[in-house]
């Protein structure tokens, strides 16, 4: 007896085009346009970014790997708050469903930047003033590796009897040439691995006394003619008994 197979073939074609494959765990196995979506791929230090990743169903496993958060598993996306400079780099995400034996991957580069600002006070180049200590016109401004603190530093000096300033950069930044931007002061002349790239220590020596800056103050770094310039406005320093507010600018000579 002749059998008409046409409807059966039509069903197979339609199902191939429109039916959903189900995995062994009940998951939906439809092909997925897997694409990372990030609210800002060039944030400034301290900004918040939101990462959205497509997820087809509850059986999918999302994982990501990026600087500062390696191998963490999330149900869907992630928020990175108060982003650090050392979280700059490639953000890798993957999605897998073992029941469907499928996996997807995507990545995007996040370029974390230092904020660029102009010092809010009027400064004289290679000069530092204080509200209650002697001012100094620097005759020497140098940049060198400080072996005591294992970091790059800018030094401003004149002669005996005048304040001798030092800006010490985070020793965990690879000891490379500091980039332009706004830096934040530390409350001690040392750093640890959790300090961000733009952490600095500012201090000066005067009459045999060591003055160190207070924390969370701004230092402005630029380059003029290829030479580093550091500037600060109304920065608070103290030793065991004296509080002083200083403003200054030092350009490598």
Which CATH number fits the domain that encloses residue 70?
Answer: 2.60.40.10
Find the length of the chain. Answer: 253
Predicted pLDDT of residue 13: 35
151/245 same-domain check: yes
Q: Say whether pLDDT at 232 is over 70.
A: yes
Q: Say whether pLDDT at 72 is over 60.
A: no
Q: Which residue has the higher pLDDT, 52 or 54?
A: 52
Q: Which residue has the higher pLDDT, 75 or 120?
A: 120
9 — pLDDT class (breaks 50, 70, 90): very low
Predicted pLDDT of residue 173: 79
Alpha-carbon gap, residue 198 to 169, rounded angstroms: 8
165/237 same-domain check: yes
Burial of 44 (0-12, 13-18, 19+ CB in 10 A): middle
Residue with tokens 């800002």, as numbered in its chain: 40
Q: Which residue has the higher pLDDT, 107 or 166?
A: 166
Least reliable range by pLDDT among 5-9, 22-26, 138-142, 174-178: 5-9
Q: Say whether pLDDT at 22 is over 60.
A: no
96/132 same-domain check: no
Query: Is residue 156 in some structural domain?
Result: yes
- Mean predicted confidence (pLDDT) in 20-32: 58
E strands, the chain, are 37-38, 49-52, 61-66, 69-74, 78-80, 89-97, 102-110, 127-130, 136-137, 140-146, 151-157, 164-169, 181-185, 199-206, 209-213, 218-224, 227-238, 243-251
205/163 same-domain check: yes
Q: Which residue has the higher pLDDT, 5 or 160?
A: 160
Q: What is the DSSP letter of 22?
A: B
Predicted pLDDT of residue 214: 98
The domain in which residue 214 lies consists of: 127-251
30 — pLDDT class (breaks 50, 70, 90): low
- Mean predicted confidence (pLDDT) in 153-177: 93
Q: Which residue has the higher pLDDT, 203 or 87?
A: 203
pLDDT digits (tens, 9 = 90+) for 103-136: 788 888 999 999 999 999 999 999 999 999 999 9
User: Which among 110, 139, 155 is the end of a domain?
Assistant: 110
Query: Is residue 98 in some structural domain?
Result: yes
Q: Say whether pLDDT at 64 is over 90.
A: no
202 — pLDDT class (breaks 50, 70, 90): very high
Give the residue among 41, 35, 62 at the shortest CA–CA distance from 109: 41
Predicted pLDDT of residue 18: 42
Highest mean pLDDT among 69-83, 105-119, 129-143, 169-183: 129-143
93/155 same-domain check: no
Query: Is residue 11 in some structural domain?
Result: no
101/208 same-domain check: no
Q: Say whether pLDDT at 75 is over 60.
A: no
88/137 same-domain check: no
The total domain count for the chain is: 2
Predicted pLDDT of residue 119: 98
* % of residues, the chain, pLDDT over 90: 53
pTM of the entire predicted model? 0.79
């Amino acid at each position: 007896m002749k059998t008409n197979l046409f409807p059966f073939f039509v069903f197979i074609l339609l199902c191939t085009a429109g039916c959903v494959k189900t995995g062994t765990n009940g998951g939906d196995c439809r092909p997925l346009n897997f694409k990372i979506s990030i609210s800002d791929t060039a944030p400034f230090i301290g900004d918040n970014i939101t990462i959205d990743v497509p997820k087809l169903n509850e059986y999918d496993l999302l994982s990501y790997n990026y600087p500062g958060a390696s191998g963490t598993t999330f149900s869907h996306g992630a928020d990175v708050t108060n982003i650090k400079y050392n979280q700059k780099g490639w953000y890798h995400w993957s999605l897998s469903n073992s029941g469907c034996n499928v996996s997807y991957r995507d990545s995007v580069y996040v370029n974390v930047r230092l904020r660029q600002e102009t010092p809010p006070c009027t400064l004289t180049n290679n000069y530092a003033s204080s509200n209650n200590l002697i001012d100094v016109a620097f005759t020497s401004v140098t940049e060198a590796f400080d072996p005591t603190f294992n970091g790059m530093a800018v030094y401003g000096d004149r002669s005996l009897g005048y304040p001798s300033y030092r800006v010490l950069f985070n020793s965990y930044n690879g000891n490379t040439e500091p980039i332009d931007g706004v830096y934040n002061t530390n409350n001690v002349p040392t750093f640890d691995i959790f300090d961000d790239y733009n952490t600095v220590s500012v201090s000066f020596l005067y009459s045999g006394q060591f003055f160190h800056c207070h924390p969370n103050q701004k230092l402005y770094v630029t380059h003029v003619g290829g030479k580093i310039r550091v500037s600060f406005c109304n920065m608070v320093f103290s030793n065991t008994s004296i509080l002083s507010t200083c403003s200054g600018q030092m350009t490598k000579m």
